Amino acid sequence: MRLSEIYEALSETIPGGQADVEITSLTVDSRQVQPGSCYVAVRGSELDGHTFIADAIHRGAAITVGERAQSELKAPYIQVEASRLAWARLAAAWHDYPARSLVMLGVTGTDGKSTTCNLLFQILKQAEYKTGMITTVNAVIGDEVSDTGLHVTTPDAFEVQSYLRRMVDAGMTHCILETTSHGLAQHRVSACDFDIAVVTNITHEHLDYHVSEEAYRQAKASLFGGLSESYPKRDAPSRLGVLNRDDSSFPLLMHATKVNQVTYGVEHDADVVAKDIETTSTGLRFRILNQDFEVHVESPLIGRYNVHNILAAFTAAVSGLGIDPEIAAKGITNLEAVPGRMEVIDLGQPFLAIVDFAHTPNALHQALQAARELTKGQVICVFGSAGLRDREKRRLMAEVSAELADRTVLTAEDPRTESLDGILEEMAEGARDKGLSEGEGFWRIPDRGEALRYALTLAQPGDLVIACGKGHEQSMCFGTVEYPWDDRTAMRAALGEFLDTKGPQMPQLPTSKP
């Protein structure tokens, strides 16, 4: 890039007499500044990048960008309203605005985002669209699959734009991008020029970051409000908001969406509806219809709540992209499973064992309701609640499990620098408030491996053991250290020990006994 392109990306004019020098790199880390770099000062939760502007210039930065007024700097400085937004715009410019060459579909919501993205991906693949995908699980570009992180959040803006550039270079025409509330609030997906926005639901989550439910909902709504501001693209579909008519978010998003909108649902009148829903231990069967079509859908996904995820993907594909409903139905059938989402672990035990990502009160409620439909026996639930995150949901999740599960085992889930015992006590209060007695209706077992082992000892033939909260994730955080952990591996290890058969070794955590 040239210096003039930095100014242009930020809607500024390069000052007269300013040499249009080459920009060698973009960074928000002053330690990575090289001669010719553009340094963007971003405020973080612990550090403020503005305090490192002088250091960045000393290291050779050709230009710096920030929110605060600066004086007596020895390099050009652009003051902006929001540094994170500027960073996203610069990242897009650095990669030559790849989103403008793609049909961009953004999927947001509290629960079901990754599943809906994967459903959409299978539909577009069935329709023979060259499609890339970025979720909190991975990025898919052709035959290449890359991990996107240890925990659930949208990648950094520069990384997102890098993935989009690679998609364009690989000949992709469409991109499905999972957009978290953090990703929206922190402008990680700004400059992505979305054409279609999809919501699954908006329920209780992330109040540790957003502080209020209203701020959280507004972060989600910004995806829909931004549709009218997307860069105009040749041959792209008309911009569209895909809304869940059954969800409490509908009034907010209906008013936020200034472009065309279409609704889906089961309980209320909607443009696209599901009827005659059948749920079994092998999947779902139902009809999808509107005034123009009716198709029968079969999906191996488990749980009635997945009907809404299927409807969201189907509606975006058919109403948004004009894909034939029958082709969309075939694509839905092709998605056999999503990693860590109601994933059955079977080593031949006489009861069901499932791993699910449910880590919010609503998701846990939905997962346990699905579990109830899969067994006539007991439901035994193992889960925790993360440290340094929304504290209110600790009690709420314990209350949900007390109401819907027969036995509850409380354990670790990324305690980070908080006291694990303190987190478990907050959860135990919720269980006690619902009438459970410790040692009879619920147990506290800090080590997650031991918790899984104990849960299996409670199971009788025909019962169901479900481990919630970690799903596909590959690590667990204690203090500031990420320890290797996969609930699916741990469940297989516990089952192997329980059945006295060959299985993987149980991953070890700081709480594990020597």
Q: Which residue has the higher pLDDT, 185 or 483?
A: 483
Domain boundary among 303, 334, 365: 334
Is there a single domain that holds both residue 118 and residue 161? yes
Do residue 101 and residue 66 come from a single domain? no
Maximum alpha-carbon separation in the chain:
81
Question: Is residue 283 a contact partner of residue 373, using CB atoms and an 8 Å limit?
Answer: no
Residue 15 CA: distances (Å) to CA of 22, 68, 228: 16, 19, 31
Residue 389 shares a structural domain with residue 468: yes
Q: What is the pLDDT of residues 284-317, one digit of tens each?
A: 999 999 999 999 999 999 989 999 999 999 999 9
Is 149 strand, coil or helix? coil
* CATH code (residue 444): 3.90.190.20
CB 91 within 8 A of CB 157: yes
Which pLDDT tens digit goes with each residue over 308-337? 999 999 999 999 999 999 999 999 999 987
In a domain, 157, yes or no: yes
- Residue 229 DSSP SS3: helix
> Is 127 a domain residue?
yes
Task: Flag whether 408 is in a domain.
Answer: yes
We report the CATH number of the domain holding residue 178 as 3.40.1190.10
Same domain for 263 and 189: yes
Show the tokens assigned to 378.
């007991």
CA distance 174 to 132: 6
Tens digit of each residue's pLDDT (9 = 90 or more) over 418-472: 999 999 999 999 999 999 999 999 999 999 999 999 999 999 999 999 999 999 8
Note the helical H segments in 61-112.
83-94
pLDDT at 137: 79
Tens digit of each residue's pLDDT (9 = 90 or more) over 106-118: 999 988 998 999 9
- Are residues 473 and 363 both part of a single domain? yes
In-domain check, residue 12: yes
40 and 134 assigned to the same domain: no
Per-residue model confidence (pLDDT) at position 205:
54
pLDDT (0 to 100) of residue 128: 97
pLDDT-derived band at 268 (thresholds 50, 70, 90) equals: confident
The pTM of the full predicted model, rounded to 2 decimals, is 0.85
Among the ranges given (186-190, 203-207, 504-508, 509-513), the one the predictor scored with the smallest mean pLDDT = 203-207
Q: Which two tokens stand for residue 97?
A: 């605005």
Final residue in a domain of this structure, among 93, 111, 140 = 93
Tell whether 75 is covered by a domain.
Answer: yes
Task: Let me know how long the chain is.
Answer: 514
Read off the pLDDT of residues 235-249 as tens digits, 9 standing for 90 and up. Answer: 899 999 999 999 999
On whether both 330 and 393 belong to a single domain, the answer is no
User: Of 334, 356, 375, at which residue does a domain stop?
Assistant: 334
- In this structure, are 103 and 12 located in the same domain? no
User: What is the percentage of the chain residues whose pLDDT exceeds 70?
Assistant: 97
Q: Quick count: other Cβ atoms within 10 Å of Cβ 433?
A: 12
When pLDDT is averaged across residues 263-285 and rounded to a whole number, the result is: 92
Question: What per-residue confidence (pLDDT) applies to 301?
Answer: 94
Q: How many domains does the chain have?
A: 3
User: Tokens representing 190?
Assistant: 């700004």
Burial class (CB in 10 A: 0-12, 13-18, 19+), 481: exposed
Query: Where in the sequence is the domain holding 369, given as residue range(s)?
Result: 343-499
Q: For all residues of the chain together, what is the average pLDDT?
A: 93
The set of residues, in sequence order, having a beta carbon less than 8 Å from that of 333 and lying 6+ positions away, is: 297, 298, 299, 300
> Could you tell me how far CA 331 lies from the centroid of its own chain?
22
Residues 388 and 359 in one domain: yes
Residue 506: inside a domain = no
Q: What pLDDT was estimated at residue 219? A: 85
- At residue 219, the 3 state secondary structure works out as helix
- Structural domain includes residue 514: no
Residues 472 and 401 in one domain: yes
512 found inside a domain: no
Are 150 and 282 within one domain?
yes
Together in a domain, 89 and 103: no
d(CA 86, CA 6): 10
